[in-house]
Structure formats: C-alpha cells, structure tokens
Amino acid sequence: MRRRTGSALIAATAGFIVLIALGAWQLQRLQWKQGLIFELERHLSAPPVSLSEAIAHPAEFLHVKTSGSFEHAGELFVLTAEDGRPGWRVVTPLMSDEGIFVLVDRGFVADEQREPAKRPGSQPQGHVEVDGYVSRHPAGRGVFTPDNDAAGNNWYWWDIPAMLAFGRIDPQSRIAPFLLHVMPGPGSVPRPSSPMLGLSNNHLQYALTWFGLAIVLAAVTFFYLRSDRSP
C-alpha cells in the first residue's frame, strides 16, 4: 500500500511541476504577445515612412507608404484560411518609384476566386499607391508544413528568396528584405487582412487553465492521500 501511495505521490508531484511550468510559460508568452501588440499599435499610429527608410531602419510592423507598378506576371498564392474559409493570400511584386522591388501581400481571396478572370479589376495596371506595414517573415517552416510547390504556384510557407525567383526578380536588383502587407480597405479584392490577424492574445486564459489544473491535481492528491491513511 505504501509503495502504491509513494508512486502516486511521485506521479502527482511530477504532474504538478509540469502544469505549473506550462502556466509560467504561457505567462511569458503573454508578455511577449503584449509587446508585439504594443509595437504594432505604436508603428501603425506613427506617420508612414518610405521603402528606403524602412530598409535603412528595420523594424517589424513599420507603417510604409510607397508607389509604383505591380508585376502581375509574378503573382503568387500562399495557402491560408479566414473565418473558416479556405483560400489564398495574393502576393504580387511591386516595382516602386524608388527603384526597389518589394513583395506585397494584397490580401485574401477564396479558393474559387484564385483565377484573376474570376475577380475582375483585381490586377490594377499602371501607377498605384500602396499603404501597408512591414512583416519580416522568418525563414523556415513547421514540422508538418509541406514543401512549397513553385511549379504549381502553391506556397505553404514564406520563402522570400524563392518567391522573388518565381516573380523573375533579378537578384542584383535592389530588393526590400521583407513583405509589405496592405492595410485593410473597404470593398477591395483581394481583401487585405487586419494587422491583428495572428496576434490573438489568449495566453492569460491558457495560463489560468494550466494553473487551475495544477490546483485540481493537488487537491485530488491531498484527498487521495488522506483517504489512504484513514483506518
């Protein structure tokens, strides 16, 4: 009986430590996410900068305004989903008036709108103005993320060099080392996404869940040990 009680106590202690560690990790994530949201709001509320300034003074979420012409022949599609609906992020190279190429995430289209012919007017010609924010997508992909299919123009993770190559952008050109995500606007297709997309902050809830489970485990263990010692 004592051996069984001792084993249960060891297992419960290990489980309690793991649950507390998970809760503490979520609190760290909470602090990190709050910092990101603060930086996003700070940069988006500041006056916009040019592409050249964004390159010279790199920072995530910088508000950028630029102008130039889209290279629609290099339009590519990144798999995504919004509001539970599968679709694609339309990413188009822009040749800016500053002589800088930059990949522009123009927003979301549903799968049935992938073909430009099914979304008339979605490929503006000539001179355009772009109001967006910087995102420096890190290289690499998730463990279960498939390989990008450049031949089929199906992209599953952000591989900026390969995307630039797909768009036939001369690597000797002046190229912005980041993506420019278009700011949301009414009624546009593709539909730009909110800058807050991907910055949902549920870490406090997760932390409280882990700490709550730790408390429940401690209580169950206490009552188990007390009942085991009862005559």
Residue 197 pLDDT: 58
Q: Is 58 exposed, middle or buried (0-12, 13-18, 19+ CB in 10 A)?
A: exposed
Q: How far apart (Å, rounded) are the C-alpha atoms in residues 177 and 173?
A: 12
Longest alpha-carbon distance in the chain = 88
221: enclosing H helix or E strand: helix 203-229
Tokens of 127: 């001179």
pLDDT at 224 over 80: no
pLDDT at 92 over 90: yes
> Which of 54, 34, 186 is CA-nearest to residue 132?
54
pLDDT tens per residue across span 104-147: 999 999 989 999 889 888 898 999 999 988 887 766 677 788 89
Pairing, β 175-182 against β 128-135: antiparallel
Assess contact for 131 and 51: CB atoms under 8 A: no
The predicted model scores a pTM of 0.71
The partner residues of 128 in beta bridges, in order of sequence, read: 68
Q: Is the bond preceding residue 190 a cis peptide, omega within 30 degrees?
A: yes
Helices (H), 87-202: 160-166
What is the number of alpha carbons within 13 Å of residue 43 lying toward its C-beta?
23
pLDDT at 2 over 60: no
CA-to-CA dists, residue 120 to 53, 67, 114, 117, 215, angstroms: 34, 22, 11, 6, 58
pLDDT at 156 over 90: yes
In the block, tokens 């800088």 appear at: 100
- Report the length, in residues, of the chain: 231
